[in-house]
Structure 1
């Protein structure tokens, strides 16, 4: 592969890696902000039956400070260690500016955001390595 093609490939990889890392960082920041400064309220867990072959959707129903009833999709999936059952009441934090933005207290699922940060950083490092190889070899 010629040097120009390697530089272009490294540039595309660098852009994609930076974008992924920034998206993950933004997600982590938002979750921390809502968890720390959001309004904490109890939410009722409801399961909406799914179509055949799909799992049932988990919904959270809560009342905002201005007495609006909100029903949002649960941002976390139940596990054996931390089950979320139909009819349970769990504590959530929501962003008063956008009540659809919720964080389940004690169940923060930040694995996807961390994976974006780590994956983006790996791609950035690979692209920089490819760029150094292309420049040194050309």
Structure 2
């Protein structure tokens, strides 16, 4: 019985990981394909924050500040004063993608790991019977 519960939790965890990765890939593709493109100013990282803030102007003239979608472990970290190209969702400008800094590899890894966990859970459930 305990193995069946373990198998169920493994499958559920795998589904969550796979869905999270698929959602990330979908959002990145959607924003990159239909989002508006502009330049953003990199502002200084606030004390206690891991990522800098990006400031940009939308097509309708609003000034928006968002936390950078780029992780601090990037090869070349963003520095205050830099200008970077971004794509943003016109309906929700807080949703941004740094052009050239998309993290599709991480999202694909989530999909792959999730699929592997689903298969492992299924194998565990079948092995018990």
**TM-score of the two chains, using structure 2 as the length reference:** 0.89
Task: Say whether 1:127 aligns with 2:121.
Answer: yes
| Residue of 11, 32, 35 corresponding to 1:35 | 32
Per-residue deviation, 1:124: 0.7
Aligned with residue 116 of structure 1, among 110, 113, 122: 110
Which has more radius of gyration? 1
Please identify runs of 4+ aligned residues in structure 1 that moved more than 6 A.
none
Gaps of 5+ in 1: none
Contact 1:34–1:94 (8 Å) recurs in 2: yes
Q: Please, which runs of 5 or more residues in structure 2 have no aligned partner? A: none
Q: How far apart, CA to CA, are the structure 2 residues paired with 1:83 and 1:48?
A: 11
What is the correspondence of 1:56-95 to structure 2 with a 5 Å cutoff?
A: 57-77=51-71, 79-80=74-75, 82-95=76-89
The answer to which structure has the higher strand fraction is 1
TM-score of the superposed pair, with normalisation by structure 1: 0.84
Q: In structure 1, which of residues 44, 48, 51 is the aligned counterpart of residue 41 of structure 2?
A: 44
Residue matched to 1:105: 99
Q: 1:49 to 1:12 in 2, by over 3 A?
A: closer
